[in-house]
Structure 1
Amino acid sequence: MDERQDGTIIVAEVGTGHHGEKERAEELIEAAREAGADWVKTQVVWAEEILHPRCGVVPLPGGPVSLYERFRSLEVPEEFYEWFAARALEAGMRPLFSVFGMRSAALMGRLLAVFGGEIPAVKIASPELVYVQLLDAVRRLGMPVVLSSGVSLLGDIETSIGVLRGEGWMVPGWGRVEGDGKGVPVTLLHCVTAYPAPEEDYNLRVLPLLAGLFGVPVGVSDHSRDPELIPATAVALGARMIEKHLCLSHEGGGLDDPVALEPDEFARMVGAVRAVEGAGEEGLRVVREAYGARVEGVLGSGEKRLAPAERGNYGRSNRSIHVRRTVKAGSVLREEDLVVVRTEKMLRPGLPPVFLPVVVGRRVAREVEEGEGLRWEDLLP
């Protein structure tokens, strides 16, 4: 968390909505500032860190998209991210970056050398929560981590928190990858991985459970359409951070613009959060008076489970082990033959990333086509 700030940290996620254009990025940063955001976040996108080229077409709010090619179109020069950090700081906000692989984690190390503690944390998105090798690389930077926990189970979160605390992780049937005990501060964001996310799926009573189980500050990364309901109710239940997408217009052409808030909506959200934040223990009464019966619908049971809207994404939006290129039966797998990516809709999911040290060096039992997930049945005993 930001030691310079009391109260809830509000993060304006502009994502890739700037299209790599500095003028548009400046407009988004200024819109975030005027709306009352504390931090402004962008995403460090290199397609090959996230997807295999054969991942296919994905239905999104703006229509069907060839996802790998769309991500390729969102790539910008590394210098853009240094400019973005400097511009956010000039505007009086703190810059935050989502990283998706080893290259973008290394970039964060270079930005840290330039800006130091002015970059308050690094963000790990929900699909990367199971990517233990990336978490460990980010931990070694020594920066606080904001970790989203959509499309995850309690065991997934427990493993990721352990990695970020420097405890290492278990590889079932193989042994333990030892950590060095050097942990970093973690803020855990509850999230529903659906775009848009139905408000009745949010189960916000899970926030005190997560805070108690893991001993970390909690918050919400909100993809619902309503500007106020989820953020205000989350703060009443102890959320210390609220992240929500910001766009200049829903018709702006950005990947997330259809589910983002326009500046006036974002300002309404900030106002709602600050009103509840000032109510202390009376926060739930305040939100019930403001939003009526809808509040009960978003509180849920408090049990950590996959939300109905995201169940079909488990194992597909999460990272798994895929073959980079076709491997023939009888060949021995090398590390360069494998890639840890999101499966998405078209390809077959593979083994979780924790098994990477197990499969390297194993002999392949049958041909595995380029891009497909690697499974136990593909390997000789």
Structure 2
Amino acid sequence: MIEKNFTLGNASYGPDHVLIIAELGTSHGGSLGKARELIDAAADSGADCVKFQIVYADEILHPNTGEVSLPGGRIRLYDRFKKLELDIGFYGELKDYAESLGLLFLASPFGIRSARELRSLKPRLLKIASPELNYTGLLAELASYGLPALLSTGVSRLSDIEAALEIFPPSLACLLHCVTAYPAPERDYNLRVLPNLAAIFGCPVGVSDHSADPELVPSLAAAMGAAVIEKHFCLSRDDPGLDDPIAQTPADFKRMVRAVRRVSVLGQEALEAISRERGKDTVEAILGDGVKQLAPSEQANYERTNRSIHALRDIQAGETLVPGDFAVLRTEKILRPGLHPCWETKLGGRKTTRFIPAGEGIVFEDLIP
């Protein structure tokens, strides 16, 4: 049986009532006042849920990652993440405030520390970002909480999703189709993959949308059976948040909500209406062939945005590895990708064959068989 609805307590979300998430991320810049302003605007714009990111730089990147290209330009992302590290009490206040407005609170952890801190807030729902879909240790930690979770599937292959669902229970998962590019071209979305993912894995599905148009991908995703739609939200695209240049302003987010709710009312008639309004060729290009594969705009990110095992310090040839010498991190563009995160628990006690610079990925050639 294909599961279409995503159940959260007494609430059920599906094509007839889509859960709409305003991804606020780190746009608050560490300001509680700015965060509350964002929550207020998201509520006024029709969001059901507000999402944040609990950031600790050392859980995500090595300092030697260097500069990373983001929508606002090239920055030293590790340094920016360090500035965004906040006490978990900050997010506790945001959770209380969001819930006082009738909104669902959601946050992404990026490692074991942030996951355990998030759990202390007693959230109703979890979110696993696309780059962490292959982070086996984090998936196992989150699975142990017994909470439902949204699993983003950007920059992933079908086999990556299958491996993740061998760790995280499919009965608690909702798969969010995603294209890991900023902004993502609408024609890369291949939205016919949604019913196929639901049929293959028996999970409800949705979309985490990074495209620029506020209506096209979200409304077509709803027509393809999405139970959840997430889109970045900002007060202004001129704000300094990491994702603000590609986020939706309150006015555009309202347009998105109206478009999605319209599909819920019209059902399949909405697809014909969108084709008339936007052009059949455009709609067909966005719907795609339904085959799950890396989108052209995200192919270069595979094995670099995803997690792998990296050296935390300079490691000399002949040394015996111990926990603390390595971590599961994102690679990005400068460093060498390392072994899949599933090897994290198997490296302790292994000897090295050669010098491994701090930050570089650890590969099999670095280890004595």
Among 287, 291, 310, which residue is 2:278 paired with? 291
Equivalent position to 2:205, from 218, 227, 234: 218
> Is the Cα contact below 8 Å between 2:131 and 2:306 reproduced in 1?
yes
Task: Say which of 302, 309, 312 aligns to 1:314.
Answer: 302
Mapped contact 2:49–2:104 kept (Cα < 8 A)? yes
Letter of the 2:283 counterpart: V
Q: Identify the residue that residue 81 of structure 2 maps to in structure 1.
A: 71
CA distance in 1, matches of 2:277, 2:260: 12
Q: Which amino acid counterpart does residue 186 of structure 1 have in structure 2?
A: A
Q: TM-score, normalised by structure 1?
A: 0.92
Match of 1:324 in 2: 312
- 1:62-118: CA deviation from partner (whole Å, max 9, x where unpaired): 111011001111111211010010000011101000110000110122111xxxxxx
Q: Please list every run of 5 or more consecutive structure 1 residues that lacks an aligned counterpart in the other structure.
A: 113-118, 166-182
Q: Give the structure 2 partner of residue 250 of structure 1.
A: 237
TM-score (norm 2): 0.95
Matched residues in 1 for 2:189 and 2:337: separation? 26
Q: Would you say the 8 A contact 1:16–1:254 is kept in 2? A: yes
**Using the alignment, how far apart are the partners of 1:223 and 1:280 within structure 2?**
24
Partners of 1:314 and 1:301 in 2: CA distance? 21
What SS does structure 1 have at the residue aligned with 2:324? helix
* RMSD of aligned alpha carbons: 1.1
Q: Which residue of 2 aligns with 1:4?
A: 11
- Per mean C-alpha deviation after superposition, the further-off stretch among 304-313 and 72-81 is 72-81
For residue 257 of structure 1, report the CA deviation from its aligned partner. 0.1
Partner Cα separation in structure 1 for residue 273 and residue 204 of structure 2: 22
* Cα deviation 1:349-376 (Å, max 9, x = unaligned): 1011011233222110001011100001
8 Å Cα contact 1:276-1:287 kept in structure 2: no
Report how far residue 343 of structure 1 moved: 0.5
| 1:289 Cα deviation from its structure 2 partner | 2.5
Whether 2:145 is the aligned partner of 1:138: answer: no
Equivalent residues, number: 358
1:115-264 alignment, distance < 5 Å = 119-165=123-169, 185-264=172-251
8 Å contact from structure 1 (residues 57, 66) kept in 2? yes
| Moved beyond 6 Å, runs of 4+ | none
Distance, in Å, in 1 between the alignment partners of 2:58 and 2:108 is 15
| Equivalent residues of 2:88, 2:118 under 8 A apart | no
* SS of match in other structure, 1:164: coil
Are 1:37 and 2:47 counterparts? yes
Q: Which runs of 5+ in 2 are unaligned?
A: 1-5
Determine what percentage of the aligned residue pairs are the same residue. 51
Q: Structure 1 stretch 283-292 or stretch 257-266: which is displaced more? A: 283-292
